Amino acid sequence: EDEHEHHHHHHDGEECDDENCSCHHHHDHDADEVFQSVGIETPKKFDEAKLDSILKVLSESYDKGTVLRAKGVIQNPAGEWIEFDLTPGEYEIRKGAADVTGKIVVIGAGIHRKDIKELFEL
């Protein structure tokens, strides 16, 4: 199973332009400085009830960070492919096209691969 976690911190030598601040860095943060992306490939099969409960947590009450977007394609126990899409407060599960292996991507602030893997029981 391949795992990917991306953190990007780019400082182009820009300094803070707040005259009352002595931090010596800029306060304009690009999206890639604020958000994390966790990507996981997995052959694990998920039944729709379990997937529904995981997505409910991520969309409504995830206490380990803020999830802004999640999507994936995974197999159910019958070998059928299921796609899911999630944004804050809502998600959709639908039949999907076949893929080589299951893929899950979660994007947010303050999220960590370890916590996402625990939630998906990977």
pLDDT at 61: 81
pLDDT at 13: 44
Structure-block tokens of residue 56: 């409910």
CA contacts within 13 A on the Cβ side of 111: 25
Q: CATH for 3-119?
A: 3.30.1220.10
Q: Where are the domains of the chain?
A: 3-119
Q: Which whole-number Å values give the CA distances from 1 to 4, 102, 113, in the listed order?
A: 10, 10, 13
What is the C-alpha to C-alpha distance for residues 78 and 5, in angstroms, rounded to an integer?
Answer: 30
pLDDT at 38: 94
Full-model pTM:
0.70
- Residues 12-23 have pLDDT tens digits of 444 445 555 545
- Residues 83-102 have pLDDT tens digits of 999 999 999 999 999 999 99
Candidates 116, 119, 122; CA nearest to 53 is 119
Would you place residue 11 in the very low, low, confident or very high pLDDT band (cuts 50, 70, 90)?
Answer: very low
